[in-house]
Amino acid sequence: MDQPKQPFELIDHARPFLDIIREQAQQLRSYPHRLVAQFETLPRELFVPEEWQELFRDRIHRDAGYGGLISQPGVIFGMVAALQLKGKEVVFEAGTGTGYQTAILAGLCSHVYTVERDSARLQAAQQRLASLGISNVTFVHGDAAQGLPQSAPFDRMIFGAAIHDLVDQHLIDQMAAARSRLVVPTGTYHHQRGMIIGDLLLCDKRDGQVTQKITSVYHGT
């Protein structure tokens, strides 16, 4: 398959998103070299839908998102870092979107199962990842809120849409019993500001025992 055309001219911003990513990485207990490398090498501009290219022309190298379809790189970094991927995990991703986070996950684990309810969006993401030679991803058309029980258990699960309380039992049941983690933003949507006001919920399962806790890594984004 032909490589997608480069839709953007590179723009020199005073504070590109890679600087923000590296700054966040420095604040972690152990610097996540593999995760940072994913952001450094993956061309974000390839994941902007054609109809949004003009909108994103002067934003692509900043830590900017757009609605629920293109997340800020800094937000993706915080959530993926919380997964603590070592390389051998099977990961469930709720909401494929443009496939940008999917591609980052694919470079850090054994296999990704990604679920998206918009079939056109799913197909476009699949084509983008194929053009980059990424093959360890299974794309599924469906309701990500239900998980993917037919492919469970998962070592890691990641959700982009916020919840208000705790993780539902049907998702906990899809987590690997021995050692697994689910990350999901929690909070409320602020309509005037157009963002989630909240934190990140970590749900851990160890030898069948489940704990859930809130961390402030997502606060204010």
Convert 56-95 to b/e letters by CB count within 10 Å (16 or more is b).
beebbbbbbbeeebbbbbbbbbbbbbbbebeeebbbbbbb
> Among 71, 110, 135, 216, which one carries the catalytic annotation?
71
Angle at the Cα of 85 from the Cα atoms of 160 and 199, rounded to 5 degrees: 35
Six token digits for residue 157: 């699960």
- Does residue 156 contact residue 178 with C-beta atoms inside 8 Å? no
C-alpha 99/C-alpha 150 separation (Å) is: 22
151 catalytic? Reply is no
Catalytic center residues:
71
